[in-house]
Amino acid sequence: MTDLLARRARLLGPNLPTFYDDPVHIVRGKGVWLWDAEGRRYLDCYNNVAHVGHCHPKVVAAICRQAAVLNTHTRYLHEGILDYAERLTATFGHGLSQVIMVCTGSEANDILLRMAQAVTGKSGFIATDNTYHGNTWAVSQLSSRRPPVGGYGANIRRVPAPDALAPLGGSAAAQPAAFAAGVAAAIAELEEAGFGFAGFMFCPVFANEGLPGVSPGFLGPTAEVVRRAGGLLLADEVQPGFGRCGSHWWGHDWLGVAPDAVSLGKPMGNGHPVAAVVARPDVMAAFRQAFGYFNTFGGNPVSCAAASAVLDVIGDEGLMANAAAVGAHLVEGIGALRHPLIAGVRGVGLFVGVELARDGRPATAEAAAVVEAMRRRGVLIGRVGRAQHILKLRPPMPIRREEADIAVAALADALAGLPA
Ligand code: PMP
């Protein structure tokens, strides 16, 4: 372990994060389970990339089959990308019917920004002040983790993010209007500064904001403000997409909002690096007119085979219904724990946040201790939120009730073991 850490530092450079004080050296995965180099088994309650389960045999077989036949780029004709685009767009409403395939969520979000520029001819963008949309130069301007060198661009406005512990406007009921007011003020500033307003990028469940438990309809007032100003609604579905919400394929449909263009990523290829943008034809046409676009690896036959197999498995194994049922079971189980640190438990399908607070204030140190304690008990989770005080459980979609119960028991035990 120390040897691996030293090699990482020597070969990959400094400041490369690992999860956990005692990092896990994983060598094998199957379904919702991971095994470390010593043969110890961990329940994965964190990784949404392995959406249909680690190393799902159907996805593995599809990748191998296609890799043995052909893998080249989209300047040659191939049915793979067309068959996949047909299946993918069939899951979308709102006229979202055309696709660009890329390799990462960051690239997809970068395209969303350029689409909004192409449609509006403007360059001002808005996102929340507690988010992450990727790591290209452009989208890192919308991310709050590390301020860009020289500060945020003058064409970027970061509006107060929804929050469960300290809701905007003072209450959950006032929050939708208060959030929209923040967006309206930002639009006015961008127009005043001469950039104009191109688009508003958001995650439908506000995942990186800490899953603040907004309800369907939350974004209604904001959507109205954005539309009135002529900007685009850019939905980042990298986290909630592909049925994780349980009730809907896409987070924006769960939320009840109609975006102009959408980015997809993480779960799309079950670990194979494939991502996409789905847009209305008018938006796509404006983008292609302004920028053209070619991505060497995006949409190659192997990526399409992997992504297609993921759609097969979601359907064949009833994984959306499973997300709804087991997600509700997980929230119920954690909700029943009634520990004084638990200030709120909320879930959208198989995406669960547990807010830890002491005297109404974020319990950051305690959340860190719980994550470590669960790792010692063989359950992998993460944390999120402005103060990193919200436990994040986002397991692969095939998790069963009995496995969710293992996570709840480990959480109860971890909380009980905290110093009083
Ligand atoms: N959008 C969101 C909401 C994300 O959480 C992430 C990754 N954590 C990205 C975009 C970027 O995706 P990628 O790492 O594939 O570039």
Q: Report pLDDT digits (tens) over 97-121.
A: 999 999 999 999 999 999 999 999 9
Ligand 1 centroid to residue 319 C-alpha, Å: 22
Residue nearest to atom 4 of ligand 1 (CA): 133
For the residues 233-245, what does the mean pLDDT come to?
Answer: 98
Ligand 1 centroid to residue 420 C-alpha, Å: 37
Question: What whole-number distance in Å separates Cα of residue 36 and Cα of residue 45?
Answer: 15
E strands, 113-187, where? 125-128, 156-159
- Closest C-alpha among 400, 401, 404, 381 to residue 392: 381
Q: b or e along 214-253 (b: 16 or more beta carbons within 10 Å of the residue's beta carbon)? A: beeebbebbbebbeebebbbbbbbbbbbbbbbbebbbbbb
Domains defined along the chain, listed by start = 2-52+318-416 (3.90.1150.10), 57-316 (3.40.640.10)
Whole-model pTM: value is 0.97
Q: Is the Cβ–Cβ distance between 192 and 198 less than 8 Å?
A: no
**Among residues of the chain, what percentage have pLDDT more than 90?**
95
Q: Running DSSP on this structure, what letter comes out for residue 215?
A: P
Residue 262 has pLDDT above 70, yes or no: yes
Angle at the Cα of 363 from the Cα atoms of 361 and 368, rounded to 5 degrees: 160
Task: Tell me the per-residue pLDDT of 284-327, one tens digit each, with 9 for 90 and over.
Answer: 999 999 999 999 999 999 999 999 999 999 999 999 999 999 99
Task: Tell me the per-residue pLDDT of 20-57, one tens digit each, with 9 for 90 and over.
Answer: 999 999 999 999 999 999 999 999 999 999 999 999 99
For the residues 197-212, what does the mean pLDDT come to?
Answer: 97
pLDDT score at 75:
94
Ligand 1 centroid to residue 146 C-alpha, Å: 15
For the residues 396-417, what does the mean pLDDT come to?
Answer: 98
Q: What is the mean pLDDT of the chain?
A: 96
pLDDT score at 419:
78
Residue 420 — pLDDT band, cuts 50, 70, 90? low
Residue 147 has pLDDT above 90, yes or no: no
Residue 1 has pLDDT above 80, yes or no: no
pLDDT score at 240:
97
Q: Is the CB of 105 under 6 A from ligand 1?
A: yes
Residue 84 has pLDDT above 70, yes or no: yes
Q: Is the CB of 251 under 6 A from ligand 1?
A: no
> What atom of ligand 1 comes closest to residue 273's alpha carbon?
15
Best probe residue, ligand 1, of 234, 239, 252 (max atoms within 8 Å of C-beta): 239
pLDDT score at 16:
86
Task: Tell me the per-residue pLDDT of 155-187, one tens digit each, with 9 for 90 and over.
Answer: 999 999 999 999 999 999 999 999 999 999 999
> What atom of ligand 1 comes closest to residue 134's alpha carbon?
11
Best probe residue, ligand 1, of 132, 351, 384 (max atoms within 8 Å of C-beta): 132
- Closest C-alpha among 321, 263, 112 to residue 199: 112
Would you give the end-to-end CA distance of the chain in angstroms? 32
Ligand 1 centroid to residue 394 C-alpha, Å: 15
Q: Is the Cβ–Cβ distance between 24 and 45 less than 8 Å?
A: no
Q: Is the Cβ–Cβ distance between 331 and 351 less than 8 Å?
A: no
Torsion of CA 264, 269, 273, 275, to 10 degrees: -20
Question: What whole-number distance in Å separates Cα of residue 330 and Cα of residue 203?
Answer: 22
pLDDT score at 328:
98
Task: Tell me the per-residue pLDDT of 338-367, one tens digit each, with 9 for 90 and over.
Answer: 899 999 999 999 999 999 999 999 999 999
